[in-house]
Amino acid sequence: MRRAAVASPKRQAVWRRRAGEAKAKKEASLIIVHHLENSRSHRVLWLLEEIGVPYDIRFYARDPTTMLAPPALRAVHPLGKSPVIVDGDITLAESGAIIEYLVERNPASAMAPAHGTAEWVRFLYWLHFAEGSAMPPLLLKLVLDRLATAPPWPIRPIVAAVLRRANNRVSTPRIADNLDLMEAELSRSTWFAGEAFSAADIQMSYPIEASVRRAGLNQSRPKLMAYLERIRERPAYQRAVSRGGGAIPPAA
């Protein structure tokens, strides 16, 4: 019976080095997503799942008291916010910019309508509406609601009443106007840019989820609620949730 050949220690060391180099090369080719739990960065994971681009995740937990991102994110980007992606020597923040970058880099994914079409104009509008118009009043409401519970008891009722009035005069009407506009748009077509799902729908998901949590969005706007059901049923959405956790924006 012949004995199995055993590689010399030197040969084994060469194999280990090559295996390590191959692993490092593979990891370097992956997009890295710096992902904060329950945040906008879920949209980046979801888009990557939709277009089938391999990626790796670096996880960050919110401060349980402030719900803010941890200081460790400042080592990735000076503002210390999420999402941030690293693609080779490119580091890119801002969810809208990241989504545009990934769509442009992967045109075969068909996550945007053809340039120059009416659908492309709608795509562009809603891609930027999400953070430019929909999120600011929702964020303002979140801040004011939290401030209302911060003062000590003797003055808390007074402060809460003032902040509630500010919400009623500023953020609440703007949120309602935005939701009415979104509802009307989804009465025109299945998705925000037309009958085909696009990256604009991914970008719009966060303010709509936030509206459920912070602004009482419910079945009185059936088109928006049906939209939420449709996106949650998408396999890529579910894979993103499985890998990165839920897409639940912080409530008040």
Does 118-234 match 9-109 at the fold level? no
Which amino acid, one-letter code, is at 193? A
What is the b/e burial string over 17-36, where b = at least 16 CB atoms within 10 angstroms of the residue's CB? eeeeeeeeeeeeeebbbbbb
Across 188-204, average pLDDT: 98
Task: Determine how many CB atoms are found less than 10 A away from the CB of residue 240.
Answer: 25
Q: Which pLDDT score, from 0 to 100, does residue 68 have?
A: 86
Statement: residue 206 has pLDDT above 60? yes
Q: Which pLDDT score, from 0 to 100, does residue 21 have?
A: 44
Q: Which pLDDT score, from 0 to 100, does residue 5 have?
A: 56
Report d(CA 114, CA 107) in Å as an integer: 10
**Cis status of the peptide bond prior to 83, with omega within 30 of 0:** yes
pLDDT in tens, 96-109: 999 999 999 999 99
**The CATH number of 118-234 is which of 3.40.50.1100, 1.20.1050.10, 2.130.10.10, 1.10.600.10?**
1.20.1050.10
204 Cβ neighbours under 8 A, 6+ residues apart: 126, 129, 130, 134, 182, 192
Q: Which pLDDT score, from 0 to 100, does residue 1 have?
A: 52
Q: Which pLDDT score, from 0 to 100, does residue 225 have?
A: 98
Statement: residue 238 has pLDDT above 80? yes
Statement: residue 59 has pLDDT above 50? yes
Q: For domain 9-109, give the fold.
A: Glutaredoxin (3.40.30)
What's the token pair of residue 165? 């009035």
Instruction: List Cα–Cα distances, 224 to 73, 172, 182, 187, 218, in angstroms.
Output: 33, 18, 7, 9, 8
Across 118-146, average pLDDT: 96
Task: Determine how many CB atoms are found less than 10 A away from the CB of residue 130.
Answer: 25
Residue corresponding to tokens 């419910």? 218
Report d(CA 248, CA 214) in Å as an integer: 11
Task: Specify the pTM.
Answer: 0.84
Statement: residue 12 has pLDDT above 70? no
Strands 84-87 and 55-60, sheet pairing? unpaired
Question: Among 33-42, 101-110, 144-153, whose mean pLDDT is lowest?
Answer: 144-153
Across 118-139, average pLDDT: 97
pLDDT in tens, 18-32: 554 444 444 457 999
User: What does the domain layout of the chain look like in residue ranges?
Assistant: 9-109, 118-234
Report d(CA 205, CA 103) in Å as an integer: 17
Q: What is the CA radius of gyration of the chain?
A: 23
Q: Which pLDDT score, from 0 to 100, does residue 155 have?
A: 85
pLDDT in tens, 154-175: 888 888 898 889 889 999 999 9
